[in-house]
Amino acid sequence: MPANKKHLTPSASQRFAKVSAAILGGLIVAVMFHMALASWFNHVAVIITSTFSAFILWAVLMVLAFLGKNGWKIWGIYLLTSTMLGVVFYFGNQINPIV
């Protein structure tokens, strides 16, 4: 049974933005989240836990990317989030260096 046409994205650029944001953007945010956690907490425990929790977070971020109306806004949100998590990671490594 084919999908209802009113629910499909008509623009090819929007489809590309949503798919790429779901796959790449979601992965970047999930990995940066766990890197930021590892820089502030016990990095061994976070890395072991991230094998499962990163996949779950990535799956949730993939679904959220397709719920948005504009794929480029989703990309912007994911890039802004990963940049903020990168700053948290940077300062975490400066304050708590791994010996």
> Considering the entire predicted model, what is its pTM?
0.83
H/E/C letters for each residue in 17-81? HHHHHHHHHHHHHHHHHHHHHHHHCCHHHHHHHHHHHHHHHHHHHHHHHHHCCCHHHHHHHHHHH
Residues 21-80 pLDDT 10s: 999 999 999 999 999 998 988 888 888 988 899 999 999 999 999 898 898 999 999 999
